[in-house]
Amino acid sequence: MAKQVNCPCGETVRGNDDDELVANVEGHVRDKHPEMVGTMSRDQILGMAVDS
Ligand SMILES: [Zn+2]
């Protein structure tokens, strides 16, 4: 199931499945929020996800 995370910075990060969503969120964090790299576990990312 496709899911998305609404980042507090206003960006919406989408993925077609959990693995893709987590990878995309991690990529977004590396690009936009380098200070947060390593602070979010897979479970936390999926906990922020909503159905898209
Ligand atoms: Zn962001």
> How many angstroms is it from 43 CA to the middle of ligand 1?
17
Buried (b) or exposed (e) across 13-51, using 16+ Cβ within 10 A?
bebeeeeebbebbbebbeeeeeeeeeebeeeebeebbee
Domain count across the chain: 1
Q: What is the pLDDT of residue 52?
A: 87
> How many angstroms is it from 14 CA to the middle of ligand 1?
12
> How many angstroms is it from 3 CA to the middle of ligand 1?
16
> How many angstroms is it from 23 CA to the middle of ligand 1?
14
| pLDDT tens per residue across all 52 residues of the chain | 799 999 999 999 999 999 999 999 999 999 999 999 999 999 999 999 999 8
> How many angstroms is it from 21 CA to the middle of ligand 1?
13
Residue ranges making up the domain that contains 22: 3-51
Q: What is the pLDDT of residue 1?
A: 79
